[in-house]
Amino acid sequence: MSVTTALALLDLKGDFPGLAGDWAYLDTAATSQKPQAVIDAIARVYGPDYATVHRGVYERSATMTLRFEEARATVARFIGAASPDEVVFVRGATEGINLVAQSWGQRLKAGDRILISALEHHSNIVPWQMLCERSGAVLDVAPLTDDGRIDEDALIGLIRPETRLVSIAHVSNVLGGTANVRRLADAAHAAGALLLVDGCQAAPRLTLDMEQLGCDFYVLSGHKLYGPTGIGVLWARAELLESMPPWQGGGAMIETVTFERTTFAPPPGRFEAGTPHIEGVIGLAAAIDYVEAIGLDRIHAHEAALVRQAREALAGINSIRLWGPDDSAGILSFTMQGVHPHDIGTILDEAGVAIRAGHHCAQPLMNLLGVPATARASFGLYSSPRDVDRLVDGLARVSRIFGVAA
């Protein structure tokens, strides 16, 4: 597919009220804008359809419960899960990882090892550090290749008999490289370890199939998938969920409660204490319906073409350094010689271009790259070639203001 053909596929800004006006939103990796279909679904939940779930015996509650569980089935189909019962609703990927660390992690002991990579988000670092401090386990870190991918050969070489878990990003939120999940899953399993995958940046653009990926845990956040904030998914193999104790206590996650003893519901209810984020779950299902109607392959091709356009335009500017692989998935991080990324972001904002500037919740990666921060342009299904042009024009203005040679 040519760049021109891919760029012509999608023109969907009109579906997103948050993009009204002349605004180039290039911060989708942080959070996506919401289509009107998602906003309408949430409004219906809060308005004429509102009722609690799993509790009421009246008709509207029963209807809402049905919609809630239909949304779980939608998520299961979207990610290629074997059963909706493998889908646990959480507040986001961060909570999903913490759930695994708090629940599954109870079995770790001193001398066990957890393996991550050098490009991970803080949410895929800090929970494991905390678990290691509690259990006496050791955290290992795999290096990167020269172009900013996980060095999979090196990572596989670091898997030891004591390794209990490997935890990696499917797509890097800073550098955009895509991991070969199946290869890493097979290597982890060969050593008796499990694989957890942070799918926040993959779910909005890559077709997922848990069986084909071969991982054991997968997490994603709804707000990066054109859905609401405060909702996410932890998927895990059924036998793993069955073996894991609850991590929070309260209503909905129980079978019976007495002052002497409590018995717990089977998964996924065991891990969903309290009244759930009803509107978030249904809004997430609406977002998935929206994305599936367009097609993940079309979205990925569209974003890849925009990344190529941006990389080609910026590669010719001597003061700009591009980070990450050439085929980064919807994400482009860069720095400009002599200009702090925060200044880049501020000046671009004056021109109606929104990017992210900072460490992107990946301070260890910034230290490895030898920079305090990067500027990051990240694309979504609503992004356009004109957004790229405005980014390039805005960076030319930054160069003029700071007297940096182009």
Last residue of a domain, one of 257, 292, 327: 292
Residue 8 sits in the same domain as residue 68? no
Query: Is the CB of residue 99 less than 8 Å from the CB of residue 271?
Result: yes
Helices then strands, counting H and E runs in the chain, come out as 14, 15
Instruction: In whole angstroms, give the CA distance from residue 234 to residue 123.
Output: 14
Backbone angles phi, psi at 234, to 5 degrees: -110, 120
Query: Is the CB of residue 169 less than 8 Å from the CB of residue 220?
Result: no
Residue 320 sits in the same domain as residue 270? no
Question: Would you place residue 8 in the very low, low, confident or very high pLDDT band (cuts 50, 70, 90)?
Answer: very low
Tell me what the mean pLDDT of segment 374-379 comes to. 98
Statement: residue 60 has pLDDT above 60: yes
Residue 195 sits in the same domain as residue 158? yes
Q: pLDDT, tens digit, for every residue of 283-299?
A: 999 999 999 999 999 99
Statement: residue 3 has pLDDT above 70: no
User: Domain containing 316 — which CATH number?
Assistant: 3.90.1150.10
Statement: residue 7 has pLDDT above 70: no
Q: Of 2 and 332, which is predicted with more confidence?
A: 332
Tell me what the mean pLDDT of segment 25-48 comes to. 98
Residue 91 sits in the same domain as residue 29? no
Statement: residue 82 has pLDDT above 90: yes
Query: Is the CB of residue 237 less than 8 Å from the CB of residue 80?
Result: no
Tell me what the mean pLDDT of segment 301-323 comes to. 95
Statement: residue 281 has pLDDT above 70: yes
Tell me what the mean pLDDT of segment 383-402 comes to. 96
Reported residue count of the chain is: 406
Residue 64 sits in the same domain as residue 178? yes
- Per-residue pLDDT at 405: 74
- Per-residue pLDDT at 22: 87
Residue 8 sits in the same domain as residue 62? no
Question: Would you place residue 406 in the very low, low, confident or very high pLDDT band (cuts 50, 70, 90)?
Answer: low
Calculate the alpha carbon distances from 257 to 54, 244, 249, 262, 265 in Å: 17, 19, 11, 4, 11
Residue 96 sits in the same domain as residue 194? yes
Q: Which residues pair with 139 in a beta bridge?
A: 114
Last residue of a domain, one of 259, 292, 325: 292
Active site members: 361
User: Domain containing 234 — which CATH number?
Assistant: 3.40.640.10
DSSP string, 59-86: HHHHHHHHHHHHHHHHHHHHHT-S-GGG
Residue 28 sits in the same domain as residue 83? no
Query: In which domain, by residue range, is 87 found?
Result: 38-292
The encoded tokens of residue 61 equal 């509650």
Question: Would you place residue 6 in the very low, low, confident or very high pLDDT band (cuts 50, 70, 90)?
Answer: very low
Mean pLDDT estimate for the chain: 96
Selection from 165, 204, 202, 201 nearest residue 185 by Cα: 165
Q: In this structure, what is the dihedral angle of CA atoms 102, 107, 109, 111, given to the nearest 10 degrees?
A: -100
Provide the CA 292 distance to its chain's centre, in angstroms: 17
Amino acid at 159: I
Q: pLDDT, tens digit, for every residue of 17-27?
A: 999 988 999 99
Statement: residue 81 has pLDDT above 80: yes
Residue 346 sits in the same domain as residue 282? no
Predicted TM-score of the model (pTM) = 0.96
Question: Would you place residue 31 in the very low, low, confident or very high pLDDT band (cuts 50, 70, 90)?
Answer: very high
Number of domains into which the chain is organized:
2
Instruction: In whole angstroms, give the CA distance from residue 170 to residue 151.
Output: 13
Residue 240 sits in the same domain as residue 344? no
Question: Would you place residue 164 in the very low, low, confident or very high pLDDT band (cuts 50, 70, 90)?
Answer: very high
Instruction: In whole angstroms, give the CA distance from residue 180 to residue 171.
Output: 10
Share of the chain above pLDDT 90, in %: 95
Q: pLDDT, tens digit, for every residue of 194-244?
A: 999 999 999 999 999 999 999 999 999 999 999 999 999 999 999 999 999
Residue 203 sits in the same domain as residue 62? yes
Last residue of a domain, one of 292, 323, 350: 292
Residue 229 sits in the same domain as residue 310? no
Instruction: In whole angstroms, give the CA distance from residue 55 to residue 243.
Output: 26
Only one residue has tokens 């596989």, namely: 156
